[in-house]
Amino acid sequence: MLSEADKQLYARQILLRELGIAGQEQLCTTDVALAGEADPRCRAVAGEYLERAGLRVEDAAPGPALGAARLLRLPASEDVARLAGDPTLEGCAAWLLGSLAAVDAIKQVLGAGNQNPCTPAFVLAAEVR
């Protein structure tokens, strides 16, 4: 059950028809472990998004003992570089991949929507013709 302080903190999310109080309670009782091999910039973005949504975020310890936490695998640095297509865009690519991973994790917890991965053909530095 959400406290009055939690209801104020998550008021904008609770107002969403797709989420409501029941969905926010589900988010607030979910533990997510971030896989260790991820790009650190993606980890930071995803972790912040997930915490702001109300999930409890922890680092995935090596080995099988994660307890009840859901393991969230985030893109590696090579994936960030591939999406960026240019080293100057890697920060943007890391933000994009981290935020998309967090949104997909939230949708998975709530059983809503489809996952939206970036396809290999999508590159930020691609020329527009």
pLDDT grade for 120, boundaries at 50, 70 and 90: low
Percentage of residues in the chain with pLDDT exceeding 70?
83
Strands lying side by side in the sheet with 31-34: 56-59, 31-34, 70-72
Checking if the pLDDT of 123 tops 90, the result is no
* Mean pLDDT, residues 32-37: 86
- Supply the mean pLDDT for the chain: 86
Domains of the chain, residue spans: 31-110
